Chain A
Amino acid sequence: MNNEYIRINHISKKFGSEIVLKDLEAVLQKGEILGFLGPSGAGKTTTIKILTGQLKPTSGDAYILGIHVKNIDETIYEQIGIVTDQSGIYERLSVYDNLKYFAKILKVDQARIDELLQRVGLFDYKKKPAGKLSKGQTQRLILARAILHKPRVLFLDEPTSGLDPSTAVSIHRLLMELKNEGMAIFLTTHNMEEATKLCDHVALLNDGQIMEYGTPKELCLRYNKEKKYKVLLENGQEYVLDQSPENTQQIADWINENQVASIHSCEPTLERVFLTVTGRQLQ
C-alpha cells in the first residue's frame, strides 16, 4: 500500500503574467503533518487550491492519493477534507443540522455526528444556530465538518488564525490525534510556533518559492551557525556565550560551583530561520 498521499513535482502557477508559484516540490506521507509556512501572499492557499482540484497548475505535476490533480473530479472530496478561511457554515441551521446536511451528502452514519461534536467540544451547543457561535466555536464546527467522513487527507489553511490561545491549543490537540490515527494533514500557517509544534516537515514559502524544506529541527540546526549558549546564574546574571574551549571551561566551573540556574542552547527558531532565508518577517 502506497503511503505517499501527496506528491508535488515542480508545480508552477501563473495568473496572467504574475508568477504565484515557482517550481514547488514536496511530499506528504500517511500520518504526517506537512506545513507550508509563509507570509500572506506567499502562495499557500494557491497550493491548496491546486492540490484539491480547484485550480489547475500552469506546469508541473502533483498527485493526491495517487491521482494527478489534473484528473481529479468531485469523487476525490469523499477522501479529503478542506478547511479554509473561505469555509462557510449554514447560519440558519443548528450546529447539529449543519453536520447532518453533510452527513447525508457524504453518506456518513448520523451517529458519528454526536461523537464528533463531543470530540470538538461542541456537544453542548448542538442545538444552537450556527450563526450565533463564537469565532472559535465556528472554526471547530468547520473542522468537525471537514473530518466528518474520516478523510485520508485533511487540508487546513490557517486553521487557528485569529483564535484565542485555548481554542488554538484544543485544535492542535485534535490535529495531533488525527495524525496519530493515520490522517495526512497539509497545513498552511504563518504561525511558526504552531508549525514547530505540529509539523513533521515544513516548507518555508516566500513569493511562491520554497526557500527551505525539512523537519523543523533540521532547519533550525541548519541555520545554527553561531553556536551559542545562554546561561542564567543563581545571582541573576545572564550570559550569552559562544562555543569555545574557554567558555566551555567557564560553564563547567559555574556548574561545579553550583551557580547555574539554567542553561540553554541558542539555535534559531523557525521564524529566525525564515527571516535569515528571506529577509522578511512571517507575521
Chain B
Amino acid sequence: MKIIHMNKLGAVMEMKFRALFSKNFISMPIFALGFALVMKWVYGSIMSKEGISDELRVFVMSYSAIMNVTMSGIYSVSALMAEEKEKHTLRVLMTSSVNGLEFCLGSMIPVILVMISVNIMLVPLVGVSMSAAGWGAYIGVTVLSCVTSAMIGMIFGIFAKNQMSAGTITMPALLILMMIPMFSAFNQTLEKVSEVLFTGVLMQTISNVAGGTGQLVSIKSILVMIVEIVLAVGCFLMFYRKNGYDHD
C-alpha cells in the first residue's frame, strides 16, 4: 500500500490547479457555465411573456451539468496528464519521489473540485429551486459522477501521448456519455441505456430534485454509480499496472 505524503500531494495539486486555470483547460468549465447562460437567455427571449418554465430550467441545467462533468472530467484530466508527457515533466515528477497514488489523486482532486463548484454554480445561475434534501442528493450524485468521470480521464491519460491525442481518444467516450442522456427523451433504447450511465443518473437526479416530488435518487441509480466507479477504478488499476503512466 502506497503512503500519501501531504507535501507531495499538495504540490501536485497546486500545479494541476495552475494548469487547469490556464487557457488550454479553463475553457471546459467556462463552456458549461456559458452554455447555461446562453440557453437561459435564448429560452427567456422566446418566452418573454410568461418567462422560462421550470421544465426548461431543468433541461438547461441537466445539459450544462452533463457537459461540465464529461468535458472537464474526462478531457481535462487526460489532457493534463498528456501535457506532462509531452513536456517530459511526468518522468521528472515520477523520478522526484512522487508515487503513482499521489500523482493520481493530485491530478484528479483539483478537476473534481472545479467540476463540483461549477455544478453548484449552475443551480442559482439557471434559477432552479431545490429543497435541502434535493441539494444533498444533487451534490451527492455530482460528487460520484465527477469522481467517475475523472477516473475515466485518468484511464485515457495513460494512453494519450500528447494533448492532441487526448482530444482524439476521449471524443467517443465524451459523445456516448453526453449524447445518450441528452437524447434519451426521444428514444426508448437510449432511455434504457441512459439509466445505466452515471451521466444519465445525474440527469435523472436533476429532474427529480427540481421536480421536488417522489424519490430523489433510486437504489438502482445509486448502484449504477457505485458499479461504474468500481469499474473505472478497476480498469485504471489494470492499465496502470500494465503500462504505468508513461511506459518505455
Chain A interfacial positions (CB closer than 8 Å to B): 49, 52, 54-55, 73-78, 82, 86-93, 101-102, 104-107, 145
Q: Determine the chain A residues whose CB is within 8 A of the CB of B12 once the complex forms.
A: 105
Residue of A nearest to B98 (CB): A105
- Could you tell me the distance in whole angstroms from the C-beta of A148 to the nearest C-beta in chain B? 9
User: Would you call A105 and B87 a contact (CB within 8 A)?
Assistant: no
> Is the C-beta of B235 less than 8 angstroms from some C-beta in chain A?
no
Q: Does B187 interact with chain A (Cβ within 8 Å)?
A: no
Q: From DSSP, what is the main secondary structure of chain B's interface residues?
A: helix
Complex CA gap A74/B2 in Å reads: 10
- Give the residue of B7, B15, B87, B98 whose beta carbon is less than 8 angstroms from that of A107: B7
Segment with Cβ contacts to A, from B42-50, B88-96, B215-223:
B88-96
A-B contact pairs, 29 of them (CB 8 A): A54-B91, A54-B248, A55-B248, A73-B99, A74-B94, A74-B98, A77-B95, A77-B97, A82-B95, A86-B88, A87-B91, A88-B87, A88-B88, A88-B89, A89-B87, A89-B89, A92-B19, A101-B11, A101-B14, A101-B15, A102-B96, A104-B7, A104-B8, A104-B14, A105-B7, A105-B12, A105-B97, A106-B96, A107-B7
Nearest CB on B from A274, distance (A) = 27
- How many A-B residue pairs lie within 8 Å, measured between CB atoms? 60
Within 8 Å CB of B88, what residues of A? 86-88
- Distance from A1 Cβ to chain B, minimum over Cβ atoms (Å): 23
| Residue B10 is within 8 A (CB to CB) of chain A in the complex | yes
B contacts with A, residue count (CB < 8 A):
23
Instruction: Encode contact with A along B5-22: 1 for CB under 8 Å, 0 otherwise.
Output: 001101110110011001
Q: Please give the distance in Å from A87's CB to the nearest CB on chain B.
A: 5
CB neighbors of A among B1-42 (8 A): 7-8, 10-12, 14-15, 18-19, 22
Binding site for A on B (CB under 8 A): 7-8, 10-12, 14-15, 18-19, 22, 87-89, 91-99, 248
Question: Bound state CA distance, A105 and B11, in angstroms?
Answer: 6
Q: Give the chain A neighbours of B8 by CB distance below 8 A.
A: 104-105
Which residues of A sit under 8 angstroms from B94, Cβ to Cβ? Answer: 74
Kindly identify which residue among B89, B91, B96, B248 contacts A105, using a CB–CB cutoff of 8 Å: B96
Q: Whose C-beta in chain B lies nearest to the C-beta of A104?
A: B11
CB distance from A223 to the nearest CB of B (A): 36
CA distance A90 to B10 in the complex (A): 17
